[in-house]
Structure 1
Amino acid sequence: MLLVVITGCQPAPEKVKKTIHAENGTYAADISNDGNYSLVSTDEAGLLLWPRYATNAKYQWQHNENTVSQIIDVDISADGEVAVAASRKEFSMWDINNGENLGFWQIGSGDIQKLVVSKKGGTVVLGKQDGTQVAFNPASGRRIEFYGHTESINVLDISPNGFYVLSGSNDHSAILWDTRSGQIVHRWPLEGRITQVALHPDGNFAFISDAIDNAVIRSLPDGEIASKLKFIERHKIFSAARFSASGDYLITGSPSRQIAIWDTSTGEELTHWRVDLRDGGRPSNAAVLAVVFDEKQQQVISESSAGLAEWWNIDLTGSKE
């Protein structure tokens, strides 16, 4: 395997492997924090859980055996123990270790737009199209509704312990709120609708971007600006974002196939490249749906709407000097 050392803005790293995870493309996807599992939703096979490098899925799950429903979002908990999936009116939880279904729930009013899950499935948070969020404890049945937004929830992230949620909405604001009390910790207004958010797993940073070229990294808990991403493109949209475990890097994906790695402290782009299209080039574009930078193995992993999982070896040693 070729290991590419990145010391500035360099060409794409060499690919380690590429695998088809969904023959007819992927609608929603997530990758575990350690990069060991990918969860994808497909039209032809339901939900598929793929171990790293596997040629066959570990589990194939049907969200609802009684009806055919389009899965609009999926999430893997920070500890890699459970997975959740949602259609507009229903959501389900699964045990990643043994494949068992841990619950299936239907909601009343409103439509689900996004969902996230904390460690061991302790808290599931639903973001709805009407701006409401619901934090739900599957074990106790306790739920709390949060009305901090006035328009559709576009993006969500949750702290591993389930205590904090970062949400972004069409109402031009991102909110960090406490799921135990329903209280707002920080509210950050931006100029456009919020298109992407990310929380650092240890709670050191929050990333927020909007539809009109504002992309900001804030330090936590104070909420002050740590850096702003530096780019020259206009109307730059991020379809995926995640901090590295150390917090030194932010990795993003775009609707135009691009992956980029950023220096958290400066907002400088360290490198970028594009994911592949399917053989034959159809569809002609692909959104990056999920991306992870595994610092231990110095590897980037992506899932795209083309149904492809891709892996690259990359070494960022010296990039922060």
Structure 2
Amino acid sequence: MGSLLTACSGEPPSRYEEYAIQGIRDGNLDRQGAHAVIASINHGGSFWSTEKNERLYNWNHDSNGYSDLAQTALSPSGSVALTADTKSIVAWNADTGRSLGYWTVPSRLHSLALHPNGQVAALGREDNLASIFDLKAGQIVRSLAHEHTIRSVYFMPKSDYLLTGSEDMTANLWNWRTGQKIRSWEHNFPVDVVTSNHTGDVIFVAAYMDNGYLYDLNTGNTIATTNTQRQRISAARFSPDNKRIALGLFDGHIQLHDATTGELLGKWRMHIRPNVYRESSYVTDLAFVSGKKLVALGSNGLLNHFELP
């Protein structure tokens, strides 16, 4: 019990490494937390091995200098990555570091996701559309409409389902191949984060300055609520066994919850870098490295390592 109380007070990381000198605008981890793609401030994009703590590639859209990147995505296996600025999107082969294609952005992007097969991307757009982009064909094959900007997109595992979260205060479940809307959840605030567990039968939705909600995919009913004291949630990831969910917050804290009851199991805080952009770092992404370890990317450019109960 003593260790849990210590964790709830905001225990610091066991260690951390610097991945960007001046901070990052976006960053993603693969399923096992073994690789990271980041869009750094003033220093373009890069791809990292978190296990070796080694920068593998520098990725920019302009060969003449650093690109001002704003969005990233990484396939669950870590084999394909996306980087985007306000004008373009590039897909990358993470094994070779080479570009798979360069395309013009149809509208300013607010979110990106890659299908587990690494061949299809979802583009969350400012013009209220979530577009399905076929990387091999190099074109949009379908667009799904909300009534406002799309803040979050997520491909469900082993299915043709896509989750979208919008500033119109709804989270929608779609069959992205047919364009059919399967289900919709209404909230009181714009939806910031949507994701699911690894078997795709439970989804998680977080709205702006609200708690998180766990839903049964088949019935649409609420399973549990994760209480974050109205702190805004910036990232979420289920544990490999689907029993827990880790939440990254905009105030730099991480909370671990029971994915069935919503019970708070522990709380940690990201390392702070004085005099660095966004000193109180928010969490851009996190991943379970094993049942006892968690890694989290912070907007201040640090990768944090945490020991779990």
Q: TM-score, normalised by structure 1?
A: 0.88
Corresponding residue for residue 25 of structure 2: 27
Instruction: Report the secondary structure of 2:287's partner residue.
Output: strand
Query: In the TM superposition, what is the alpha-carbon distance from 1:247 to its structure 2 partner?
Result: 1.2
Summarize deviations over 1:78-123 as a string: whole Å, max 9, x none: 1221111112231111111111111111134x32221111124221
Match among 68, 84, 87 for residue 85 of structure 2: 87
Instruction: Report the secondary structure of 2:24's partner residue.
Output: coil
Matched, 1:287 2:285: no
CA distance in 2, matches of 1:162, 1:154: 22
CA distance in 1, matches of 2:86, 2:282: 21
Query: In the TM superposition, what is the alpha-carbon distance from 1:38 to its structure 2 partner?
Result: 1.2
| RMSD of equivalent CA atoms | 2.3
Matched, 1:305 2:299: yes
The structure-2 alpha-carbon separation of the partners of 1:15 and 1:211, relative to structure 1 and needing over 3 Å to count, comes to closer
Counterpart mapping for 1:142-221 below 5 A? 143-161=140-158, 163-221=160-218
Corresponding residue for residue 65 of structure 1: 63
CA distance in 2, matches of 1:35, 1:82: 14
Matched, 1:271 2:266: yes
Instruction: Report the secondary structure of 1:171's partner residue.
Output: coil
Instruction: Report the secondary structure of 2:55's partner residue.
Output: coil
Query: In the TM superposition, what is the alpha-carbon distance from 1:160 to its structure 2 partner?
Result: 3.9
Summarize deviations over 1:24-76 as a string: whole Å, max 9, x none: 11110001111101111113331111112434301111133368643221111
Instruction: Report the secondary structure of 2:54's partner residue.
Output: coil
Query: In the TM superposition, what is the alpha-carbon distance from 1:293 to its structure 2 partner?
Result: 2.0
Summarize deviations over 1:148-175 as a string: whole Å, max 9, x none: 3110011111124462211111101000
Between the aligned residues of both structures, percent identity stands at 23
CA distance in 2, matches of 1:6, 1:105: 48
Matched, 1:241 2:239: no
CA contact (8 A) 2:42 2:68 kept: no
Corresponding residue for residue 256 of structure 2: 261
Query: In the TM superposition, what is the alpha-carbon distance from 1:7 to its structure 2 partner?
Result: 9.1
Corresponding residue for residue 47 of structure 2: 49
Counterpart mapping for 1:87-126 below 5 A? 87-108=85-106, 110-126=107-123
CA distance in 1, matches of 2:6, 2:274: 31
CA contact (8 A) 1:168 1:194 kept: yes
CA distance in 2, matches of 1:211, 1:268: 20
CA distance in 2, matches of 1:214, 1:6: 21
CA distance in 2, matches of 1:293, 1:173: 28
The structure-2 alpha-carbon separation of the partners of 1:193 and 1:306, relative to structure 1 and needing over 3 Å to count, comes to same
Matched, 1:314 2:308: yes
The residue type paired with residue 61 of structure 1 is: W
> Which has more strand, going by share of residues?
2
Q: TM-score, normalised by structure 2?
A: 0.91
CA distance in 2, matches of 1:246, 1:158: 19
Between 238-247 and 61-70, the greater mean CA deviation after superposition: 61-70
Task: Give the total of aligned pairs.
Answer: 308
Corresponding residue for residue 18 of structure 1: 16
Query: In the TM superposition, what is the alpha-carbon distance from 1:259 to its structure 2 partner?
Result: 0.5
Between 166-175 and 119-128, the greater mean CA deviation after superposition: 119-128
The residue type paired with residue 303 of structure 2 is: A
Query: In the TM superposition, what is the alpha-carbon distance from 1:251 to its structure 2 partner?
Result: 0.6
The structure-2 alpha-carbon separation of the partners of 1:89 and 1:280, relative to structure 1 and needing over 3 Å to count, comes to closer
The structure-2 alpha-carbon separation of the partners of 1:280 and 1:113, relative to structure 1 and needing over 3 Å to count, comes to closer
